[in-house]
Structure formats: structure tokens, C-alpha cells
Structure 1
Amino acid sequence: MLVSLIDTDSKDQALQEILEQAQKPVFYHDDTLGTFELVKGLDLFEKTIQWSNEECLLYFNLEEDEKINDSLRTANQLMQEQAKWDSSIKSFAANQLIDLAKDWQEQDESAEKQEELTLNQFMSRISLESLHVYPEGEFEVYYHDGDLFWGHVIIVAGNINGTFHDAHIAG
């Protein structure tokens, strides 16, 4: 009954202005890293970056300015030492997950028997998808698995102080 009372063609000017404002893109500019765009449904700012000759996405959370600045300090430190971080993150992932990858390789009945997977092969097969930075030096790196885990993503969590917390597969 209520639906029959409402004129579906009516427009409320105040609501229309709110809708238009909400649909406008939101940007955040960092002098070093450039301009990020807000992914509103996720409350994340994102930007495409170059990381060790790979294109990937860099994300940080929509928070108060102090935490945003702290997250961007994390990103800047990672970006300034990309080669070192790329190598150490991939090495950590390989060391943590190589046994699991070998188990998956053995379970793949459709594939011909392959030579045993090495750490270097593991590291060369994975490719960076995205980098998520947080306050207090925390970060997460998401890698395409190079079909080591049949299309699952590899996630490595760490801190710019050089410690790694975890490496696992998801998805």
C-alpha cells in the first residue's frame, strides 16, 4: 500500500545533491608517492605503482590524518629500498611455503612429474599483486602464486623493522 502512495518519479533536490557529492571521486595526495584515489566501498586509498619492474597496487586505509601519514611513512620506506624488500619478502615466503608448495605439486595428478621445486624457482614464479601499508611500520604483500597453489594468493605480513609475522595462502 505504501508503494502505491509514493510517486516514483519525484526527485528530492537535497537528496540529489547528497547523492552527487557522494559519487564524486575522493583523492589523497602525497608529495613523494603521488595521488591516491579512495575505493569507497572498501575505505581504502589505492594507487598503481612500479615495484621491481612490476606494476602493482599500493593501498592504505582511510583513517585520521596521523595514521594516514604513518602508513605513508611505511610505504615510503618500502619504496626507497624496493630491491632489498622485494628479495627479503619473497625469500621469507619461499622459506615458509616451499614444503606446502611441494605437497601441492605432488597432489597434482594431471601434471607430469616435475623436478623438485627449489627456493629460487618458487621466488621467480610469484609476482606482486598489491602492497598494503599500515601505521607503525606494518605491511602486507599479496602475490600471485604462479600456479604453485592452483591460483591462490600468497600473503606475507611484516614490519619495516625487518621482522616478518606470517606467510600463508588464501582464496
Structure 2
Amino acid sequence: MEFEKCMNYPDIKHEFLGYLRYNSELDWYESQVVFYETQLTISISTDDNNKVESALYRVNSVVRELKHHAKSAKEYAVEQLLKLKNETWLDEGETLTSEEFKNRMTLEGLVFFPDGEAELYYNDGNLFLRHCILIKMDKHDCFVDASIRG
């Protein structure tokens, strides 16, 4: 990694994320990658010493396997949220199949934390009145929570 001085926090040059720039309002570094022709925001939280090395290690492993993780996250969302959608958030009384549910979800961003956890943020395709679908993954690539936000 190359470091270039920029304000209080240096930009970080990463092999496939390009330049990571510090966002002082959110207290993390940000970059973008293209995934299936969609621009994804990658956010990386710093540790207590304002370092990102441990989170960057996690970024490397998750982004290299993003196709697999994104598919698995959608399946996990179906397991956790489809019943809620069909029982509470009905559109004109019609229930959705798991495939219809997954097809409406679009990955928009990922957040990585120093402890190895990651969060995948999905546009809900108006499943939940334009709330975000958040899928949490632990450091062992196991999904541990699915919720709607916003």
C-alpha cells in the first residue's frame, strides 16, 4: 500500500479498490468497485489506532468472493425476511416467492470492520417501502443477522 498525505488521514492506494479516501463525517475510509455493472460503495472502519489493515485483509477475501457472498446473503435474507414481507408488508394482498424477493434486491454497498465483521447493504426494490436491507456477516463468513433499516 502507498500512502499519500491528505488532511489528517492519508489516502490509501489499494491494489483493486484504487484510492481509499477518509470520510471524516462517518469516520471511515471509502472506495468503490463495480459489481455486475453496479457501482458499490466500500466502507472500511478504522480500529482504535485509526488503522485499517485488519479490515483491509477482510475486504480482500470478501470482495474476491463477492459473487458467492452476495448470492448467499440474498438467500439468507429470504430465510429471515420473506415471511415478514408476506405477512406484514403486503402489496395488494399478493405474496412473493423467494425468487421474486431475491430478484428485487440490489447490492449497493459493503462496510467492513476491524473485528472481521462485514455488512452488505441492499436496495430493497420497494419490498419494504424503500427501506435498506442490511445483512451482517461474521468474520467466519456466516450470516448472523438480516434487518430492514431506514
* TM more than 0.5: yes
Residue of 47, 66, 70 corresponding to 1:82? 66
Moved more, 30-39 or 74-83: 30-39
Partner SS, residue 136 of structure 1: coil
Q: 1:2-81 maps to which residues of 2 (within 5 A)?
A: 26-63=10-47, 64=49, 67-81=51-65
Q: One-letter code of the match for 1:122?
A: F
Question: Residue 139 in 1 paired to residue 118 in 2?
Answer: yes
8 Å CA contact 1:77, 1:160 repeated in 2: no
1:80-111: CA deviation from partner (whole Å, max 9, x where unpaired): 112111111111111100011112343x4xx4
Q: 1:144-159 maps to which residues of 2 (within 5 A)?
A: 144-159=123-138
- Quote the residue 2:76 is aligned against: 92
8 Å CA contact 2:42, 2:110 repeated in 1: yes
- Quote the residue 2:3 is aligned against: none
- Quote the residue 2:97 is aligned against: 118
Distance 1:33 1:86 in 2: 18
- The structural deviation recorded for 1:79 is 1.1
Distance 2:77 2:37 in 1: 19
Structure 2: where are the runs of 5+ without partners? Answer: 1-5
Structure 1: where are the runs of 5+ without partners? Answer: 1-20
- Give the number of equivalent residue pairs: 144
- The structural deviation recorded for 1:55 is 1.4
Partner SS, residue 166 of structure 1: strand
- The structural deviation recorded for 1:54 is 2.2
Q: Which has the higher strand share?
A: 2
Partner SS, residue 73 of structure 1: helix
- The structural deviation recorded for 1:34 is 1.8
8 Å CA contact 1:104, 1:149 repeated in 2: no
Find the structure with the greater CA-based Rg: 1
Partner SS, residue 79 of structure 1: helix
- The structural deviation recorded for 1:162 is 2.5
Question: Residue 161 in 1 paired to residue 148 in 2?
Answer: no
- The structural deviation recorded for 1:41 is 1.2
Partner SS, residue 137 of structure 2: strand
Root mean square deviation of aligned Cα: 2.1
8 Å CA contact 2:30, 2:44 repeated in 1: yes
Q: One-letter code of the match for 2:143?
A: F
1:15-67: CA deviation from partner (whole Å, max 9, x where unpaired): xxxxxx85x885222234221111111111111111244211000123436x5
